[in-house]
Amino acid sequence: MVIDEEAFQGIMAAVAKASPSVAPMATFTPGPILEEVQAATKVGNRSLWVVFVIMVISSLAFYVMAYRVPAQKRLFHIITAFITTFAAISYYSMAVGDGIYNNTITVREPSSHGISDTYFYQSREVYWARYVDWSVTTPLLLLDLAFLAGLSGANIVVALVADIIMILTGLFAGLAKDESVSWGYYAMACIAYLVVVYQLAFNGRAAVAGKDQKTATFFTSIAGFTLLLWTAYPIIWGIADGARTLNVDGEIIAYAVLDVLAKPVFGFWLLFTHDAMSSSSVSLGGFWAHGLTTEGGIRVGDDDEGA
State the pLDDT at residue 277.
76
User: pLDDT-derived band of residue 86, with 50, 70 and 90 as boundaries?
Assistant: very high
Per residue in 122-152, pLDDT tens?
788 999 999 999 999 999 999 999 999 999 9
Pairing mode of beta strands 33-38, 118-126: parallel
Give the residue from 269, 267, 264, 239 showing the smallest Cα distance to 254: 239
Comparison of pLDDT for 126 and 16, the residue scoring more: 126
Instruction: Convert the pLDDT of each residue in 19-76 to its tens digit.
Output: 555 545 544 445 556 667 788 899 999 999 999 999 999 999 999 999 998 887 889 9
Reported confidence tier of residue 160, pLDDT bands at 50, 70, 90: very high
At a CB cut-off of 8 Å and minimum separation 6, what does 262 contact? 141, 226, 229, 230
Q: Where are the alpha helices (DSSP H) in 68-178?
A: 75-95, 128-149, 153-175
Longest dimension (CA), the chain: 144
Report in angstroms the alpha-carbon separations of 245 from 122, 152, 237, 249.
Answer: 12, 42, 10, 12
Nearest to 134 by CA among 89, 173, 164: 164
Measured CA to CA, the distance from residue 305 to residue 307 in angstroms comes to: 5
What does the pLDDT average to over 217-227? 95
Q: Who has greater pLDDT, 243 or 24?
A: 243
Do the beta carbons of residue 91 and residue 48 sit within 8 Å?
Answer: yes
